[in-house]
Amino acid sequence: MADIQLLPPVLNSAVDLDLEDDTNAADERFDKLREECGVMAIYNHSDAARLTYWGLYALQHRGQESAGIASADGYSVNDIKGMGLVSEIFTDDVLAKLPGHIAIGHTRYSTTGDSALLNAQPISVESTKGLIAIAHNGNLVNLGTSKERLERDGAVFQTTSDSEIIIQLIAHSRQTTLVDCIAESLSQVDGAFSIVMMTRNRIFAARDPHGFRPLSMGRITGVDGAPDTFVFASETCAFDLLHAKYERDVEPGELVMVSEDGVTSRRYAPETTPTASCIFEHVYFARPDSRIYGRWVQKSREEMGRQLARESHVPADLIVPVPDSGVTAAIGYATESGIPFNLGLIRNHYVGRTFIQPEQRVRDFGVRMKLNPVRSLLEGKRVILIDDSIIRGTTSRKIVRMVRAAGATEVHLRISCPPTISPCFYGVDTPSKKDLIAANKSIAEICEYIEADTLAYLSLPGLTHACTIGESSHGLSPASFCTACYTGHYPTQWVDVEEILPAIATV
Interface positions with ligand SF4 (CB under 6 A): 212, 278-280, 424, 426, 428, 482-485
Residues listed for the chain: 507
In the complex, the smallest distance separating the C-beta of residue 325 from ligand SF4, rounded to whole angstroms, is 14
Structure-derived torsion over alpha carbons of residues 188, 190, 194, 196, reported in degrees to the nearest 10: -20
Cβ neighbours of residue 92 closer than 8 Å, sequence gap 6 or more: none
Closest to ligand SF4 by CB, 101 or 136: 136
Query: 327-337 and 297-311 are packed helices; what angle lies between their axes, rounded to 10 degrees?
Result: 50
Q: Does the active-site annotation cover 447? A: no
Closest to ligand SF4 by CB, 279 or 452: 279
Locate all alpha helices (DSSP H) within 236-326, ordered by sequence.
237-242, 280, 297-311
Closest to ligand SF4 by CB, 202 or 282: 282
The bridge status of strand 318-321 relative to strand 382-387 is: parallel
| Amino acid (one-letter) located at 296 | W
In the complex, the smallest distance separating the C-beta of residue 430 from ligand SF4, rounded to whole angstroms, is 7
Angle subtended at Cα 220 by Cα 216 and Cα 221, rounded to the nearest 5 degrees:
135
In the complex, the smallest distance separating the C-beta of residue 464 from ligand SF4, rounded to whole angstroms, is 11
Closest to ligand SF4 by CB, 140 or 257: 140
CA–CA gap between residue 342 and residue 60 (Å, rounded): 27
User: In the chain, what is the straight-line distance between the N-terminal and C-terminal CA atoms, in Å?
Assistant: 49
User: Which H/E stretch holds residue 484?
Assistant: helix 484-487
Closest to ligand SF4 by CB, 53 or 426: 426
Closest to ligand SF4 by CB, 286 or 428: 428
In the complex, the smallest distance separating the C-beta of residue 428 from ligand SF4, rounded to whole angstroms, is 4
In the complex, the smallest distance separating the C-beta of residue 487 from ligand SF4, rounded to whole angstroms, is 9
Q: Of these residues, 37, 237, 417, 424, which one is catalytic?
A: 37
Distances (CA, A) of 215 to 111, 245, 290, 433: 22, 14, 11, 29
In the complex, the smallest distance separating the C-beta of residue 275 from ligand SF4, rounded to whole angstroms, is 12
CA–CA gap between residue 449 and residue 454 (Å, rounded): 11
Closest to ligand SF4 by CB, 191 or 373: 191
CA–CA gap between residue 389 and residue 396 (Å, rounded): 9
In the complex, the smallest distance separating the C-beta of residue 326 from ligand SF4, rounded to whole angstroms, is 18
Strand spans (E) along 279-417: 291-292, 295-296, 318-321, 345-347, 371-373, 382-387, 410-415
CA–CA gap between residue 317 and residue 383 (Å, rounded): 6
The bridge status of strand 229-233 relative to strand 216-220 is: antiparallel
- Provide the annotated active-site residues: 37
